[in-house]
Amino acid sequence: MIKLEKIKSTPIPTLKRLTRYLSVIHQLKESKTDYISSTEIANIMGLDPIQVRKDLEFTGISGFPRLGFKIDDLHFAIKEILNWNNTEDAFLVGAGSLGQAILGYDRFKSCGLKIIAGFDINPELIGKKISNIEIYHINKIPNLIKRLNVKIGIICVPASSAQDVVDLMVDNGILALWNFAPIHVNVPSDIIIENAQLSQSLGILTHKLAEKIKAY
């Protein structure tokens, strides 16, 4: 009987931890050490070393007994899983206060994301450059998505406009959406959507705090 090799894709919880390992590893790259063990990572982050090792399995990198993993290799391999060694162009819609903060944020470039244009409906913003990224009128977006073959859209418009903007982008060929509007938007099942729900994270915090205060 032939046993098919089950291709195990990286679980979401693992992906989330991998990005955190990356930031720890990134800090450590400065220091002189070449290796880091699962135990060390776990200690720094307050996790279980076994879990760290299990997660790192998905990188395909082998560790060395007594030494741990080669930092440079890990760093590269984790970025590879996240596809952060390549850079995808992206459009951002809604150049308001959050949109401008994101436009001005350099770090996403090392996270595989290059925002190449912004879009808005506010005439005062159109034509302006924010951190060297030009803002266009939203009606330019259909044409530009196709012409520049942009695959990622970032939604920073008010909740009330989010669905419309999403529809517009999806209709014109966007493949993945990063949504900051605090609302559920509908997309076809083949479109990737990630909600950067800040309120989700806030909800966990306020819930835990309430539990804690209740328990004295």
Ligand X SMILES: NC(=O)c1ccc[n+]([C@@H]2O[C@H](COP(=O)([O-])OP(=O)(O)OC[C@H]3O[C@@H](n4cnc5c(N)ncnc54)[C@H](O)[C@@H]3O)[C@@H](O)[C@H]2O)c1
Partner DNA sequence: TTTTTATCGATAAAAAAATATCGATTTCTC
Partner DNA sequence: GAGAAATCGATATTTTTTTATCGATAAAAA
Please tell me whether residue 48 binds DNA under the rule CB under 7 A.
yes
Scan residues 59-78 and list those touching DNA (CB under 7 A).
62-69
Cβ-based nearer residue to ligand X, 33 or 186: 186
Contact range with ligand X by CB under 6 A, out of 14-22, 78-86, 146-154, 161-169: 161-169
Q: Residues with Cβ < 8 Å from 216, sequence gap 6 or more? A: none
Q: How far is CA 150 from each of CA 5, 81, 100, rounded to the nearest angstrom?
A: 35, 21, 20
Tell which residue, 70, 64, 28, has the closest CA to residue 45.
Answer: 28
> CB count, 10 Å around CB of 110?
13
Tokens found for residue 50? 């076994």
| Binder of DNA out of 14, 25, 162, 179 (CB under 7 A) | 14
d(C-alpha 166, C-alpha 155), whole Å: 8
Scan residues 58-97 and list those touching ligand X (CB under 6 A).
93-97
The helix or strand, by DSSP H or E, that contains position 92, with its residue range, turns out to be strand 88-93
Contact 192, 175 (CB under 8 A): yes
Q: Which amino acid is at 206?
A: T
Residue 170, contacted partner among DNA, a copy of itself, ligand X, none, CB below 5-8 A by kind: none
Size of site (CB under 7 A) for DNA: 25
Scan residues 58-87 and list those touching a copy of itself (CB under 8 A).
81-84, 86
Tokens found for residue 205? 């915090």
3-state DSSP assignment of residue 195: strand
Cβ-based nearer residue to ligand X, 24 or 198: 198
Please tell me whether residue 170 binds a copy of itself under the rule CB under 8 A.
no
> CB count, 10 Å around CB of 58?
17
Please tell me whether residue 203 binds a copy of itself under the rule CB under 8 A.
yes
Tell which residue, 143, 167, 144, 147, has the closest CA to residue 155.
Answer: 167
Contacts with ligand X, residue ranges (CB under 6 A): 93-99, 101-102, 105, 107, 119-122, 125, 138, 156-159, 161, 164-165, 180-182, 198
Q: What residue ranges bind DNA (CB under 7 A)?
A: 11-14, 37-40, 47-51, 53-54, 56-57, 62-69
Positions touching a copy of itself (CB under 8 A) are: 9-10, 12, 15-16, 18-20, 23-24, 27, 44-46, 81-84, 86, 88, 97-98, 100-101, 104-105, 107-108, 111-113, 151-152, 175-176, 178, 182-184, 186, 189, 192, 194-213
